[in-house]
């Protein structure tokens, strides 16, 4: 484990509050949260949350290791398949790279 990945794991990571996530969702659908919840799958919202919390952080650099799927599942309160789909979406966007047996990297 590199010193930068140790630094990520040693810091207590605070997740966006539900209000922040709700504001983001409302902004996508002009304030209509119910409509947004019906249209966006959970894994898409989770991908946006991961992007906001880890990918966009100034102290996290390309090549840094992110928490494992299991750790993300616990931190975000989501199921393993939902976390896996969110990570696959971020990988398809080129924001993260998943290396089997090694971890998830920016």
Confidence at residue 55, expressed as pLDDT on a 0 to 100 scale? 77
Q: What is the pLDDT of residues 23-79, one digit of tens each?
A: 666 666 655 555 555 678 888 999 998 888 887 788 888 888 888 899 988 888 889
pLDDT at residue 85 greater than cutoff 90: yes
One-letter-per-residue 3-state SS of the chain: CCHHHHHHHHCCCCCCCHHHHHHHHHHHCCCCHHHHHHHCCHHHHHHHHHHHHHHCCCCCCCCCEECCHHHHHHHHCCCHHHHHHHHHHHHHCCCCEEECCCEEEC
Tell me the CATH class for 17-105: mainly alpha
- Residue boundaries of the structural domains of the chain: 17-105
């Amino acid at each position: 484990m590199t010193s930068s990945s140790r630094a990520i794991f040693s810091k207590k990571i605070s997740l966006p509050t539900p209000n922040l996530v709700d504001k983001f969702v409302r902004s996508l659908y002009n304030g209509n949260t119910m409509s947004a919840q019906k249209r966006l799958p959970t894994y898409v919202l989770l991908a946006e949350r991961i992007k906001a919390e880890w990918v966009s952080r100034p102290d996290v650099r390309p090549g840094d290791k992110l928490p494992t799927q299991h750790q993300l599942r616990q931190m975000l309160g989501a199921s393993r398949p939902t976390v896996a789909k969110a990570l696959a979406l971020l990988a398809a966007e080129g924001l993260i790279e998943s290396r089997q047996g090694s971890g998830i990297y920016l």
